[in-house]
A and B are shown apart, each in its own frame.
Chain A
Amino acid sequence: MIRARTVGWLGLAALTLGFGFLYAPIVLLVLYSFNASRLVTVWGGFSPRWYGALLHNEAFGAAALTSLEVAAMSATLSLVLGAFAGFSMARFARFPGRLVFGFALLAPLVVPEVILGLSLLLLFVMCQNWFGWPGRGMLTITIAHATFGVCFVSVLVRSQLAGFDRALEEAALDLGARPWTVLMRITLPGISPALVSGWLLAFTLSLDDLVIASFVTGPSATTLPMAVFSRVRLGVSPEVNALATLFLAFVFMLVALAGWLMARAERRRRIT
């Protein structure tokens, strides 16, 4: 009996239940963001009023700006450091401290956020005591986010380099290209999908982080997740529903853009 590779009705049931479970809460949240009623669980008709209320919520607005700024800076920092680190791990088979380096690149992915946050805060407090620097606020959050962002970017860059055909680089070198030219014209374009998705991943992880930012921030900086968290601790809020919907739409566009860019890069690679 040879069965074709099809999804039987059991498979369909699994898909329906599984994805229903994953997406039902999100769909409900988006629906109720358009609810006219203040009571979150009573449907009072369609209304965009909470989006209007959101526009006038200055606390959320300021926090969103802080979050975007921190995310952009930490993602860029992660990109540079992570590309360096991923390149080192993929290309240099032997150097002193490689084992420790590899450990430090993977461990932050496993260590709980509460511990990363606590440990960095203790470092910053100690530095503050000794050098009177760096204070606590956007700078410390950026440093903290860049530290775990580096790990994600390096993993992506490393695995992309592992599948990269080195003969291309060698050919370019043999034909007289300078190492710098080879790096800029062959290697970097070759790993650009990893760089793009790495930056985006670091950016969204930073935008999403509550725990680490709560530890390392000071009174001067509140990120969006921190503002949302202090609000939802008091219960469901229609403004948060509206904010969440906007955030989902934003993320969806970013992911779609990334997918499109990568698909385009893939097509170009196939043509050339």
Chain B
Amino acid sequence: MTGLGRIGRLMLIGVPFVWLTLFFLLPLLIVVKISLAESSIGIPPYTPLFATDGGGLKLHATLANFALIAGDDLYLRAYLGSLGNAALTTAFCLVIGYPVAHAIARSQGARRQLLLFLVVLPFWTSFLIRVYAWIAILEPNGLLNQSLMALGLIAAPLPLLNNQFSVQLGLVYSYLPFMILPLYGSLSGLDQSLVEAAADLGARPLRIFLGVILPLTLPGIAAGSLLVLIPAIGEFVIPDLLGGPDTLMIGKVLWDEFFNNRDWPVAAAVAVVLVAALAIPVLAAQRFLEREHAA
């Protein structure tokens, strides 16, 4: 609308732009700045980056925090642990989510709407509570162990909580809807006549799936994987509530560094490295999606 005038246009763009600059872009720069400072006792608990030193302005920057991260293999293991857990979660969500999305895409009318609603509903409920619900199930004397023991399948409770298994389960459970939705989008847009043509030409179901359906739904697979992988890497709540002493994930390390050790500069340095690590899959995915669009 040209009639809005220059001032209207300036306001529409400017107000949210200023907001995001102040509360998103600027804070990221501050994180970088503080990652270069030293930890100190006081409020705030870090040294200033610039100090007036006998008249002249002097820069006090140190890479010590990054050296600490590189030197202590706790951080490296936490990064790799996060990446590994997130990758495994993506794979599980794909394997579980694909048949579900496929079945929803083949449903008709009101039933399809209901199923979609049931996939979306968890988005609107509390993430914290959905993770918490698993504690009562997985506890040593929890519902699952009790049921298995009542059935006589096991003699003693299995260690199901506070280990790698429970973290993985919680991740898959929490992020499954993020995988199903884009897969459904791809599968419902699939041209069914291609599947029928392949069948008419004598292809067996497995070959139809691998040769026709899978390649055509690649964009949905990519989008879903991204929606699961990226947030799973930085996850804090799940490793904290369901994890045990052997669970190492970077989101939790950052939280502990900040709240328990009160070492703000190291927490900031962990954040900087995490953003850098995340940029790689995001950029790779963006390039992939652009290629898909171009093709």
Contact = CB atoms under 8 A, between A and B. Distances in A.
B158 interface: no
B4 A204 contact: no
B250 to A, nearest CB: 8
B255 A114 contact: yes
Interface of A: 1-3, 5-7, 10-12, 14-15, 17-19, 21-23, 25-26, 28-29, 32, 40-41, 81-82, 84-85, 87-88, 91-92, 95, 97, 100-101, 104-105, 107-108, 110-116, 118-120, 122-123, 125-126, 129, 143-144, 146-147, 150, 154, 169, 173, 178-179, 182-183, 187, 204, 207-208, 210-211, 214-215, 225, 228-229, 232-233, 235-236, 240-241, 244, 247-248, 251-252, 254-255, 259
B124 A110 contact: no
B230 interface: yes
Given A91-B1, A112-B234, A119-B28, 6 more contacts: A2-B196, A5-B108, A7-B106, A28-B143, A110-B282, A119-B30
18 contacts: A3-B199, A5-B108, A25-B130, A25-B134, A26-B125, A41-B142, A101-B16, A108-B24, A110-B278, A114-B234, A118-B258, A119-B30, A120-B27, A179-B4, A183-B4, A211-B255, A251-B124, A252-B121
Contacts of B108: 5
A184 B201 CA distance: 57
Given A7-B106, A147-B23, A150-B20, A119 B271 contact: yes
B64 interface: no
Contacts of B15: 81, 84
B248 interface: no
Interface string B149-185: 0000000000000000000000001001100100000
Contact of B31 (A32, A118, A143, A244): A118
Contact of B124 (A25, A82, A204, A229): A204
Interface stretch (B52-60, B72-80, B97-105): B97-105
B102 A14 contact: yes
Contact of A244 (B11, B34, B132, B139): B132
A28 B126 contact: no
Say what secondary structure dominates the interface of chain B: helix
B189 interface: no
Contacts, number: 244
Contacts of A11: 99, 102-103, 106
Q: From A129, A182, A211, name the one whose CB has the most chain B CB atoms within 10 angstroms.
A: A211
A-B complex: 6 closest residue pairs judged by Cβ atoms: A112-B234, A179-B3, A119-B27, A11-B103, A14-B99, A18-B100
B51 interface: no
A169 to B, nearest CB: 6
Nearest to A101: B17
Contacts of B118: 19, 22-23
Interface in B92-137: 96-97, 99-100, 102-104, 106-108, 115, 117-119, 121-122, 124-130, 132-137
Interface in B242-290: 251, 254-255, 258-259, 264, 267-268, 271, 274-275, 278, 282
A129 B237 contact: no
B121 A104 contact: no
A228 B130 CA distance: 12
B173 to A, nearest CB: 7
B91 to A, nearest CB: 16
Contacts of B102: 11, 14
A232 to B, nearest CB: 5
Interface string B180-201: 1000000000001000100110
B107 A114 contact: no
